[in-house]
Structure 1
């Protein structure tokens, strides 16, 4: 069975590495985290992950929502947004991105994160 690959997009390195460790402990393959929306688009295009865990506020010119819209042009991948400010994502944004989208509020505990991932990708 194919191992589930997750692209982690987070501009705070400590949060990114902590999340990576949690997800790997749960059996997921986690690509090395990227910190910008531009890197997220490029990495999604080259690696075609099974799920993207995307912070909304990122370093660089492209935020998480803009990156998700670009990614959806070539890859219909589930995207879980993580943000400290859930008001940044409107219901209209979620409609545009489709059913395979959810928003988690920081700080996200490991159990809530895993449950959210399993809504889109059942455990192996």
Structure 2
């Protein structure tokens, strides 16, 4: 496999990480693009990021840490489940150390070991452990909200209900189909949605979410065994995407991040 092919395989996941870190597909992609442009202009850096996923994320981290990327406006079509929450996110960023969020995302959403995350962040594994704990404490101080779960597998739905409740949020309902999701939301609008893609009656969780977003902007986390259906680059992609089978810590992180960048409140 060529170097270009190796990098291309990792790009959807780097873009996912960048979106979760910045809260926007547009801003995340801007940082990823800046990383690739820097590599193309520096043969030594290009050789480095071709060595593997850790090296690619480390290069991205250096670009992110400098902050020397021009701000961009939101996509015309908006992010799926991400919304345009840049101003609110920046207000919250003043109270949460960016490296803490990086450590949390790297070790949960991106599933790096503490040693790998330490290499990416140019620190020690012990410091990564401390930053993860601090990030959880800072982010979970955010306002709780009402949650709608769109999931057709009863055991997974029950697992998500328990996880959401343990975090202090209230589950307003669980839906196994697109129509059920709309019925529940119409009666009690949620402040956060957890959604599968393929539902019980053959309907689509993606379509259900797009229906809900017509009522107003709210954070959405897709939890699916088919992430490739959303990581195509052909349409606005979800800011928060968790792959099944999932670790509860990964979902917990995604919820914290989604509420960090979203409103975290019911729409009514």
Map 1:18-37 → 2, pairs under 5 A: 18-37=159-178
Q: What is the CA–CA distance in structure 2 between the aligned matches of 1:4 and 1:103, rounded to whole Å?
A: 19
Alpha-carbon distance change, 48 to 32 in structure 1, aligned in 2, over 3 angstroms: closer
More strand by share: 1
User: Which has the higher Rg, Structure 1 or Structure 2?
Assistant: 2
Taking a change above 3 Å as real, the CA distance of residues 60 and 121 of structure 1, as seen in their structure-2 partners, is same
Q: 1:58 deviation in Å?
A: 0.2
Q: Which structure is higher in helix share?
A: 2
Structure 1 pair 66–80 and aligned structure 2 pair: CA distance change class (3 A)? same
- Provide the rounded CA distance (Å) in 1 between the counterparts of 2:173 and 2:259: 20
- What TM-score, normalized by structure 2, do the two folds share? 0.41
Structure 2 CA distance for partners of 1:79 and 1:86, relative to 1, 3 Å: same
In structure 2, what is the Cα distance between the partners aligned to 1:71 and 1:32?
A: 14
Q: Which runs of 4+ in 1 moved over 2 A?
A: 90-93
User: 5+ residue gaps in structure 2?
Assistant: 1-141
Q: Where does residue 233 of structure 2 map in the other structure?
A: 91
| Structure 2 partner of 1:111 | 249
| Contact in 2 for aligned 1:45/1:74 (Cα 8 Å) | no
Distance 2:234 2:178 in 1: 20
Offset at residue 91 of structure 1 (A): 3.1
Match of 2:211 in 1: 70
Q: How far off is 1:62 after superposition?
A: 2.6
Alignment RMSD (CA, Å): 2.1
Relative distance call for 1:102 and 1:2 in structure 2 (3 A) is closer
> How many residues end up aligned between the 2 structures?
119
TM-score by length of 1: 0.84
CA positional deviation for 1:46: 2.2
Report the CA distance shift for 1:2/1:112 in structure 2 as closer, same or farther (over 3 A). closer
2:154 to 13, 24, 27: 13
The unaligned stretches of length 5 or more in structure 1 are none
